[in-house]
Structure 1
Amino acid sequence: MTATRAPHFPPPTGVVDAWINPNLGATAGDVSYLFPDLAERLERGTTLEQLIDEMDAAGVAKGVLCSGFFGDDREWCVKARDTHPDRFALSHVVDPRDGMAAVRLVEDLVAQDNYRLIRMMGLQTQLAYNEAAYYPVYAKCVELGIPVSLNVGFPGPQVPSKYQDPLPVDDVCAFFPDLKIVLAHGGEPWVDVCVKLMVKWPNVSYMTSAIAPKHIPPAILQYANTRGADRVMFASDYPLLTHERCLGEVVNLEFRDAEKLQKYVAGNAEALFFS
């Protein structure tokens, strides 16, 4: 079947952005070589009102806020969610090298503030995802029924990339078949491995965070248009990419039908983080 360009469909509605970093700062690492206009957005900063206005202007109904990696911003994110409970869910970056402190943090995030996603990043830990340090956090996420997001692919910050090779996730899935895993940040140059992991393991999904939609790997779009329609979800990694730019490019993606497009921009993230 030949794909049809999205403008032939009704515009997508109720977009859910699965990764928003409202307080992204210098601790995220220097990625200016990838996003040359980012410095201006960081200099300006983002208030909650500005974030809501930008989401509304682009047609983003809901978003998953991220705290933990970019400073002490948990309180900001919780307040934003409590102010707009119909608009936001919460995620937090956990460092598994903290041992039982990381496990207790996960339990507190979920029990106290209803966090819906735990994130871990090889670029931060410099550990492959099948290293022992991660396993207590994986086990706690299974116990709590909370998905975990793992950054895969060459990271933007100029640190070694081998720790974000997605292949070790295969070991994790075999050991924790009930763990819901979201592969984030693209997976390049190992995109085919990401697809193979989704084909093999029913609890693995993929979000297109930090990838401008026009640059989404063809293998991912092919998978989203076929057996992976329920596995691939939109994410911007705002403010690295703006909602305006991302949604402007989404309408030009080649989806076979409006249902698959809607699952990508809203339905899959809605089901995982808001249901």
Structure 2
Amino acid sequence: MNPDELTAIDVHTHAEVSARGNASLDEELSDASSTYFKIDPARRKPTLEEIAAYYRERSMAAVVFTVDAEHATGTPPVPNEEVAQAAAANPDVLIPFASIDPFRGKAGVRQVRRLVEEFGVRGFKFHPNVQGFFPNDRIAYGLYEAIEELGAIALFHTGQTGIGSGIPGGGGIRLKYSNPLHVDDVAVDFPHLKIILAHPSFPWQDEALSIATHKPGVYIDLSGWSPKYFPPQLVQYANTLLREKVLFGSDYPLLTPDRWLADFAELPIKDEVRPLILKENAARLLGLRKT
């Protein structure tokens, strides 16, 4: 993948359906998420090949992953191997991340090593709300140790989630798990682990900004929100102290990069900072550029 040929790198996209048609969330949680993002629940979810074609049309690259929360939800994820194989078939546009349920224990650690060494996976997505764990719970530390050792990236959902939103009891999804302060412990205990805090971290935006300014290995992606709703302090830090640590992410297919980029163009972001956020910061973090 040549970053010079790309207009942007989207570090946050979801493989929501496998080639066999199996979804990564049950129908109730999936419909709640679609309603939250004002998407017709009946709209067909894109396959991995369709995701690749979508981003190729836009001369963009996309980090793509599933979410493995089988312990909490009972629903098997889209297979990590399928995501990695799709990326291998579309290396010009897809960058494979994976997801391992922390409750898989030592078997999960073995999967991390296998996925990196045999399938070229570059990072791992954690969704504490859906997976039902605090990021600083020792149950996940074996995973972090392996991810750090292998030079991969850990991406954590932070803040509010549309999954379960609006249904009784939030579908059992607890928001407390995604306070980014729990990830601060991970950054301390694994000082060489590269970490992405996904999304504007409502209602903990200031906590996320504090962690990213304090811990050199912690980045923030801007996915899941239209930029027109970004809190002012996030825009301020993206323009200044965190200009080299903020990353473009859409949350596709829940939020399209077309809409995100249109709204981002209206933000008061400095001209010299825009290319950093849209491509260059991610290119360095992902090892697509050496400096």
TM-score between both structures, scaled by the size of structure 2: 0.82
Matches of residues 1-275 of structure 1 in structure 2 within 5 Å?
14-24=7-17, 25=23, 27=25, 29=29, 30-40=32-42, 43-48=43-48, 50-57=50-57, 59-69=58-68, 71-157=77-163, 158=170, 159-257=173-271, 259-275=272-288
d(CA) in 1 for partners of 2:45 and 2:137? 36
**What is the aligned residue count?**
259
What's the offset of the Cα at 1:186?
2.2
What's the offset of the Cα at 1:160?
1.1
What's the offset of the Cα at 1:20?
1.4
Q: Is the alpha carbon distance of 1:215 and 1:164 closer, same or farther for their aligned partners in structure 2, counting shifts above 3 Å?
A: same
Bigger shift: residues 218-227 or 68-77: 68-77
d(CA) in 1 for partners of 2:287 and 2:7? 13
Q: Is the 8 A contact 1:38 1:240 kept in 2?
A: no
* Larger RCO, structure (CA 8 Å, separation 6 or more): 1
Q: Is the 8 A contact 1:141 1:148 kept in 2?
A: yes
d(CA) in 2 for partners of 1:214 and 1:224? 14
Q: Is the 8 A contact 2:61 2:94 kept in 1?
A: yes
Q: Is the alpha carbon distance of 1:247 and 1:60 closer, same or farther for their aligned partners in structure 2, counting shifts above 3 Å?
A: farther
What's the offset of the Cα at 1:274?
4.6
Gaps of 5+ in 1: 1-12
Q: Is the alpha carbon distance of 1:119 and 1:225 closer, same or farther for their aligned partners in structure 2, counting shifts above 3 Å?
A: same
Post-superposition CA distance 1:8-40 (Å, at most 9, x none): xxxxx6211111113354617221331122424
What's the offset of the Cα at 1:71?
2.5
d(CA) in 2 for partners of 1:87 and 1:120? 22
d(CA) in 1 for partners of 2:78 and 2:139? 23
What's the offset of the Cα at 1:227?
1.4
Gaps of 5+ in 2: 1-5, 18-22, 69-75, 164-169
d(CA) in 2 for partners of 1:38 and 1:209? 20
Post-superposition CA distance 1:129-158 (Å, at most 9, x none): 111111111111111111101111122222
Which secondary structure does the structure 1 equivalent of 2:25 belong to?
helix
Root mean square deviation, CA, Å: 1.9
Which secondary structure does the structure 1 equivalent of 2:41 belong to?
helix
d(CA) in 1 for partners of 2:233 and 2:257? 23
What's the offset of the Cα at 1:118?
0.9
Q: Is the alpha carbon distance of 1:194 and 1:99 closer, same or farther for their aligned partners in structure 2, counting shifts above 3 Å?
A: same
Q: Is the 8 A contact 2:80 2:99 kept in 1?
A: no
